[in-house]
């Protein structure tokens, strides 16, 4: 199958940047959010990013205008998805929310449409029954910030066809990204399982007063040669996202060990989500 037209469902930071990268790579894409303010914010960010890229000489004014002509924003779901070959979903990581939006999309799209979820943790077999053709449902997991991070995890569930996976590998490569194929579903896929193990232990040590979050970050960066410490990375990816993911996991497993750390819960309750809110574990200008 050849992908020509793409729809992005979810206009937050991840959805918007994925949509921009897809447009940069030559595809027509419409970015949808049900909230007008989210659409306005996404469009403003996009225009600002392209304007800065022109000023820095990273892209010509003509190429910037051409790319932006391929990228549109809307609060009309039908207008976004009705003729899409591929729908990428980047809504909140809550299972019932994903099922509901996929049901709506399935009623509006042609039989050929592939549904790719950008979920960080929830495997597609949990929601593939929301659409008419489960063999066209998979996880396509991008990393934040999507305009910079090269890796995309392509995750095949038992319901997903080899043809769908092969089509998505070609698509990922065509948008200048590196696919890592996950052949068997596992909660969190590859990167987030490793990241979660590190983050969980880091939060445990901080909650127990073993060390400050600054010193834990310092130890991981200079002792393990990681480019960022776990708390810096939480601030970048979003403490609200971490809270949502862990809360959803706890709902599914009932295991107390899966609940968010007190350090995460406290900051979430205060609206301190990291870089996006100018404060998380660290302060940002």
Residue 136 and residue 65 share a domain: yes
Orientation of helix 230-237 relative to helix 239-253, angle to 10°: 90
Rounded to 5 degrees, φ, ψ at 238 are 115, 115
Say whether 192 is catalytic.
Answer: yes
Please give the residue range of the domain that contains residue 249. 193-277
Q: How confident is the model at residue 29 (pLDDT cuts 50, 70, 90)?
A: very high
Q: Which of 43, 53, 118, 153 is catalytic?
A: 153
Q: How many CA atoms lie within 13 A of 67 on its CB side?
A: 20
Residue 241 and residue 136 share a domain: no
Residue 244 and residue 166 share a domain: no
pLDDT attached to residue 120: 84
Say whether 153 is catalytic.
Answer: yes
Report, as an integer, the average pLDDT of 235-261. Answer: 91
- The reply to whether 253 falls in a domain is yes
Show which of 138, 160, 182 is a domain's final residue: 182
- Tokens standing for 189? 């896929």
Rounded to 5 degrees, φ, ψ at 48 are -65, -40
Residue 199 and residue 69 share a domain: no
- The reply to whether 187 falls in a domain is no
Q: Going edge to edge, which strands form the sheet with 178-182?
A: 71-74, 28-32, 5-9, 86-89, 114-117, 137-142, 151-155, 178-182
Number of domains in the chain: 2
- The reply to whether 283 falls in a domain is no
- The reply to whether 244 falls in a domain is yes
Say whether 248 is catalytic.
Answer: no
Question: Model-level pTM?
Answer: 0.84
Mean pLDDT of the chain: 96
- Residue 94 confidence (pLDDT) above 90: no
């Amino acid at each position: 199958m050849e992908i020509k037209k793409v729809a992005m469902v979810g206009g937050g930071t991840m959805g918007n940047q994925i949509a921009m990268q897809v447009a940069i790579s030559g595809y027509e894409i419409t970015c949808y959010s049900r909230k007008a303010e989210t659409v306005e914010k996404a469009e403003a960010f996009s225009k600002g990013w392209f304007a800065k890229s022109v000023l820095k000489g990273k892209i010509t004014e003509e190429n910037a205008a051409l790319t932006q002509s391929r990228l549109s924003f809307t609060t009309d779901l039908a207008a976004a998805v009705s003729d899409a070959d591929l729908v990428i979903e980047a809504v909140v990581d809550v299972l019932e929310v994903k099922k509901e939006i996929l049901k709506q999309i399935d009623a509006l799209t042609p039989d050929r449409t592939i549904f790719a979820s950008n979920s960080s943790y929830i495997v597609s077999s949990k929601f593939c029954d929301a659409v008419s053709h489960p063999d066209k449902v998979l996880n396509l997991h991008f990393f934040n910030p999507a305009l910079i991070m090269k890796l995309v995890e392509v995750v095949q569930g038992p319901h997903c066809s080899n043809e769908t996976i092969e089509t998505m590998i070609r698509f990922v490569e065509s948008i200048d990204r590196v696919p890592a194929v996950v052949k068997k579903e596992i909660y969190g896929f590859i990167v987030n399982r490793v990241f979660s193990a590190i983050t969980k232990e880091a939060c445990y040590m901080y909650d127990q007063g073993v060390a400050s979050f600054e010193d834990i970050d310092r130890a991981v960066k200079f002792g393990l040669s990681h480019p960022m410490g776990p708390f810096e990375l939480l601030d970048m990816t979003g403490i609200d996202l971490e809270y949502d993911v862990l809360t959803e996991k706890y709902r599914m497993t009932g295991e107390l060990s899966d609940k968010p750390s007190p350090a995460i819960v406290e900051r979430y309750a205060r609206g301190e989500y990291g870089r996006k809110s100018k404060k998380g574990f660290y302060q940002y200008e």
